[in-house]
Amino acid sequence: MINAKGETIYTSAEIAYELGISPATINACGRRIWGHGRIPHWTLRDAEILIKYIRSITVEEDAKRLALLHEKVCEIMGESAPLDDADTRKRVDRDIRG
């Protein structure tokens, strides 16, 4: 597609499929970078920024974030076995890298 400025634009789905992730992830990252007031159509420069942002998220950071969520769910649901670091990293790496 081409926008009003004559730039080629890409949808979240096109970028996501190239990366092997969900289009919703591209939309969420776009909202995090540029805010909520933007239509999710991206120029090549925008796509580059999105890809660099996604690649900057390390497995360790995501593992810590998900471990906290898992612990909170266990606390509420009554389960007592929290995930260990190795299992969490393995799950996160599988989700991010495929």
pTM given for the model: 0.62
Which residue, among 49, 68, 55, 50, has the nearest Cα to 97 in the 3D structure? Answer: 55
Strand partners, 44: none
Structure tokens at 62: 């995501």
* CA-closest candidate to residue 44, choices 1, 93, 90, 89: 1
Q: How far is Cα 22 from Cα 65, in angstroms, rounded to an integer? A: 19
Per-residue pLDDT of 11-64, as tens digits, reads 999 999 999 999 998 998 999 899 887 777 899 999 999 999 988 887 788 788
Extents of the domains making up the chain = 9-56, 59-97
Map residue 53 onto helix, strand or coil: helix
